Amino acid sequence: MVDWNQLSKQEQTEVERQYKVLSYGVDTILPQDEFKKKLATSIKEKRPLKVKLGLDPTAPDVHIGHTVVLNKLKQFQEFGHTIQLIIGNFTGKIGDPTGKDAARKALTDEEVKHNAQTYFEQFGKIIDMDAVELHYNAEWLSKIDFAEVLRLASHVTVARMLERNDFHNRYTDNKPIYLHEFFYPVMQGYDSYALESDIELGGTDQEFNVLFGRQIQEQFGKEKQVVLLLPLIEGLDGVEKMSKSKGNYIGIDESPGDIFGKTMSIPDELIVKYFRLASNLKIEEVAKIQADLEEGGLHPKDAKMRLAYSFVEMLYDQETADLSKENFLNVFQKNKMPGELPEVWWEKQKEVLVIDLVKDLGLLPSKGEVRRMIKNGGIRIDQEKIDDPSLIVSVVDGLVIQVGKRKFVKLRIQ
C-alpha cells in the first residue's frame, strides 16, 4: 500500500476529504490506519476501491434501517469507488434443514432471483444500481471441494466460533448449533477473498462475520480488507433494533403517507441518530439541527417533520414530500372541532380505485387491509357502505371517506 508521504499535498487533502465523509456515522473501522492507507492507494493509483456488501436472499424486505448502509455505499459511489453487491445464493439454496427456523429453509433458484430483484428495485431508490457490480456467491463456493473446505476449516478454532455472541448463548443455553452454521462466516470471508474486496460494510452485529474476510484473505496471501461497522438503528418503539419481524420498521416501499406518519411517531431521543444515519442530509445540516434542538430553538415535532420530509424526498421526490407533509398537517395536526372533519388535499387522478384511494390516504397500511375492511363492511364513502373492492370512485370536492367507526377524512380538490 502507498505511504502517506508518497502523496502530493493535493492528494493528501483528497484523502482527508473522503475520510471525513466516509467515516462519518461509522461505529468502528477495523483497522483505522489501514482504511486511510486504502484511500491513499486508491487516490495515488487512480484505482477505485472495491466496497463489498453481502446480502442474504432469504429476507428481501428493505427498511429505513438499511439506509444506514445504503447511504454509506452511496457516498463511496459518489467518490468513484466500486460497489460489490453479493447475493448469498449458495447459502440460501442450502438453507437450514433442521426446520427450527422457517426463514432458513432452502430457497429455489427462482425464489433467490425474485428476492434479489426485490432488493435491487428498492436499493435503486438510494444507490445507482447501474454502477454496481452484482455477484452470486454460488459461482465460486459451489466449486470448492471437500479438501479445500477442510483446509479452510483448519485455520479456524472451535473456541473462536463459540465466542460469537449468538453461538455462545445457544451453547450455554443447551440449544443446538449445527456444524454447518460455523461455515456461514467462513463463506462470507471466502467471498471477500474471491472478489478481492478492499472494504466490507456491515452492521455492528456483523463484526464477527466480516472480520473473517480479513482472516481468509490473509490465509490465501491476499491484501486484507478493511471493515466498516455501521450502527444499528432502533425501530419506532425506540427500544429494539428496527426489523420487519418486530413490526417496528419504516419500509422503503411504503406509501409516502405511511413513511411520513411513522417517522412522526419515533421517540424524540432518536431524532438526531436517524438524521445522522438514515437520512441523506449533509454533515453540517445534521450538526445544525442537533445544535438547534439542544438549544431549544427547534421543537422536536418540527425536527421530526423535517426528518419525515427528508425520507419521503429521498425515497420518492420533493413534490411527493410536500404533499405528504400537507396531508399530515391536515389530518393529524389541525385541531378538530366537534362535527368538523379533517380535510386532505387530493392532487392525484380524479378517477381512482377505492382500494388505492384508501391506501394512498394512509388510512390503512396496505391494500390487503383495505380489501379486508371492505369485506367486513367497514368502508363508507359519503356514508354509503362499499362492498365492491373494484369500485372506481370519482373524487369530488368535499367527498367524505370513512374507515371503521372513527376514522373520517374529507377530500378537498382545487
331 binds a second copy per the rule CB under 8 A:
no
CB of 220 to a second copy, least distance (A): 13
Comparing CB distances to a second copy, the nearer of 99 and 339 is 99
User: Quick one: which of 5, 102, 150, 406 contacts a second copy (CB under 8 A)?
Assistant: 150
Give the neighbor-by-neighbor strand order of the sheet with 407-412: 343-345, 407-412, 400-403, 379-381, 384-385
* Ranges of H-type helices in 271-392: 271-277, 283-295, 300-315, 318-328, 354-360, 367-375
Decide if 77 contacts 40 (C-beta within 8 A): no
Q: Would you call 267 helix, strand, or coil by DSSP?
A: coil
* CA–CA gap between residue 365 and residue 176 (Å, rounded): 38
Q: Does 94 bind a second copy (CB under 8 A)?
A: yes
Asked if residue 245 binds a second copy (CB under 8 A), the reply is no
Q: Grid coordinates in use for 300?
A: 422536536
Taking CB under 8 A as the criterion, the residue among 9, 46, 143, 406 binding a second copy is 143
Q: Using omega within 30 degrees of 0 as the cis cutoff, is the peptide bond preceding 31 cis?
A: yes
Q: Is 244 annotated as a binding residue?
A: yes
Q: Which residues pair with 392 in a beta bridge?
A: 353
Residue type present at position 116: A
**Using the rule CB under 8 A, which residue among 151, 299, 350, 372 binds a second copy?**
151
Q: Which is nearer to a second copy, 120 or 184 (CB)?
A: 184
Distance CA 206, CA 28 (A): 11
Sort strands 351-353 and 392-394 into parallel, antiparallel or unpaired: antiparallel
Q: For residues 182-211, which are near a second copy according to CB under 8 A?
A: 182-183, 186
Contact with a second copy (CB under 8 A) among 5, 9, 10, 147: 147
**Distance from C-alpha of 93 to C-alpha of 111, rounded to nearest angstrom:** 9
* Residue 100 found at the interface with a second copy (CB under 8 A): no
Asked if 97 is part of the footprint of a second copy (rule: CB under 8 A), the reply reads: yes
When asked if residue 161 is in the footprint of a second copy (CB under 8 A), the reply is yes
Give the x-and-dash track for 54-93 against a second copy (CB under 8 A).
------------------------------------x--x
Determine the size of the site formed for a second copy (CB under 8 A). 38
Binding footprint of a second copy on the chain (CB under 8 A): 90, 93-94, 96-98, 141-159, 161-162, 167, 171, 174, 176-180, 182-183, 186
* Residues tagged in the binding site annotation: 244
